[in-house]
Structure 1
Amino acid sequence: MSNKAIIAGSSGLIGSNLLDILLREAFYDEVLILVRKELPIQHPKLTQLVVDFDQLERYSSAITGHAIFCCLGTTRHKTPDRTVYRKIDHDYPLMLAQLAHKNGVEQYHLVSSIGANAASSTFYIKTKGEIEADMQLVGIPSLHIYRPSMLIGKRTERRPEEKIVTGLFKIIDPLLFGGLKKYKSILAATVAVAMYNQSIQTNKGSFIYESDKIKELS
């Protein structure tokens, strides 16, 4: 039996690292990426499906396999419209999960955020908390939610403000220990490794991994 993985958000910081791993490691012999436009990548295991995320149900027949990895996400700077922001961070991941469950996909791996809380007054944190809560109602047999802290890694797009924050974390990280360890910055590649490692396990149920736990799993 072949093992197929699907990635949504393969051009992002975590998704691009994850794609490299899935193409390199032998466990998955088919990797499908859902993209708005094709990426300049070719590999014998790789298939690219250009989709309209507002019409995901049109591609339902392709949402099959062993595991779905959802690395979709945006920023307030890139997407100031809250309606659009919520679609990307909540609606698309949820629709993908519903289609996956309908088609018998066993695993769903979702990138969320540190501090996700549906009761928060902060829109970003509240949206992340809501998708986590809604995702657990879908019924995926094996649901894995990752809550990374400040992500470190090379991006294709320039984010000057993020460079400043990254510099600050180099100073702050050594001061975070005990219950504060989960707030330390984390490499996007580390999150990707943890996601892959969990996907080749057979654990059933819903799991939430804070940033410090993600490091342990990588």
Structure 2
Amino acid sequence: MEIKAIITGCTGMVGEGVLHECLQHPDVKEILVINRKPCGITHPKLKEIIHNNFYDLLPVATQLHGYNAGYFCLGVSSVGMKEDAYAHVTYDLTMEVANTLAALNPEMTFCYVSGSGTDSTGRGRSMWARVKGKTENGLLKLPFRAVFMFRPAYMHPTKGMQHTQKYYKTLSWMYPFFRKFFPQYVSTLAELGQAMINVTIYGYPKKVLEVKDIVAAAAITGK
């Protein structure tokens, strides 16, 4: 299967890591990234659209046809935000992008980076978890070929990336310990990207992938 992917969030840690895996993978033939500012990466596979308003993709919609994978890696921290503001930049923005892509590419497999602890019931005490859960539930209703929710926890960063967060740099030396004793909370950023590619090609029996599922999906070979 040849993948033609749209990736958002490539100027952040997760999106940059997913893009890195896609650039290396032989089955990913074309990549379109949509950013508010240039990602600073050039590659024969890669095209880039600079667009400031993710709440309105109509001005660039003609450039979004013909893709069969969508890897949504755009997100912000909820620290210091009230629920309505966080919902606007999380639920509203994500659904706007996803609805546009579903209308243009109904055969697309859409992958959304959520987070470990996301609350699908909408009744939990954690604000960010409720908003992420609402977003997941909304995405699962859209008419894509397939939709997968990814819930990573600690992700060991990919060496050489420019947007690795300081938190991950500080803890990276403890990765072997975390991986051995807390495997249910630990994956690598590379595994996240590999898992997205693999579920696009091979599918996966669950729509919501926790950390152990991300690691398992990353290891699929198709043999």
TM-score under structure 1 length normalisation: 0.83
CA deviations over 1:109-163 (Å, ceiling 9, x no partner): 1111112112222111111111011111212121111111122216645755555
Aligned-partner residue type, residue 9 of structure 1: G
Match of 1:48 in 2: 48
Q: Which runs of 5+ in 1 are unaligned?
A: none
Match of 1:143 in 2: 147
Tell me if structure 1 keeps the 8 A contact 2:55–2:96. Answer: no
**After alignment, is 101-110 or 42-51 more displaced?**
101-110
Q: Sequence identity of aligned pairs in percent?
A: 21
SS at match of 1:89: helix
Q: In the aligned structure 1, how far is the partner of 2:106 from the partner of 2:43?
A: 23
**What displacement does 1:10 show?**
1.6
Q: In the aligned structure 2, how far is the partner of 1:45 from the partner of 1:163?
A: 29
Match of 2:221 in 1: none
**What displacement does 1:76 show?**
3.0
Q: Given the superposition, is the C-alpha separation of residues 104 and 19 from structure 1 closer, same or farther in structure 2, using an over 3 Å criterion?
A: same
Match of 1:130 in 2: 134
Q: Which runs of 5+ in 2 are unaligned?
A: 219-223
SS at match of 1:55: coil
Q: How many pairs are equivalent?
A: 211
**After alignment, is 48-57 or 203-212 more displaced?**
203-212
Q: In the aligned structure 2, how far is the partner of 1:163 from the partner of 1:22?
A: 23
Match of 1:9 in 2: 9
Match of 2:81 in 1: 80
Of 99, 106, 110, the match for 2:112 = 110
Q: Given the superposition, is the C-alpha separation of residues 41 and 82 from structure 1 closer, same or farther in structure 2, using an over 3 Å criterion?
A: same
Aligned-partner residue type, residue 88 of structure 2: K
Aligned-partner residue type, residue 71 of structure 2: F
Of 58, 67, 70, the match for 2:69 = 67
TM-score under structure 2 length normalisation: 0.81
Q: Given the superposition, is the C-alpha separation of residues 3 and 210 from structure 1 closer, same or farther in structure 2, using an over 3 Å criterion?
A: closer
Q: Given the superposition, is the C-alpha separation of residues 169 and 75 from structure 1 closer, same or farther in structure 2, using an over 3 Å criterion?
A: farther
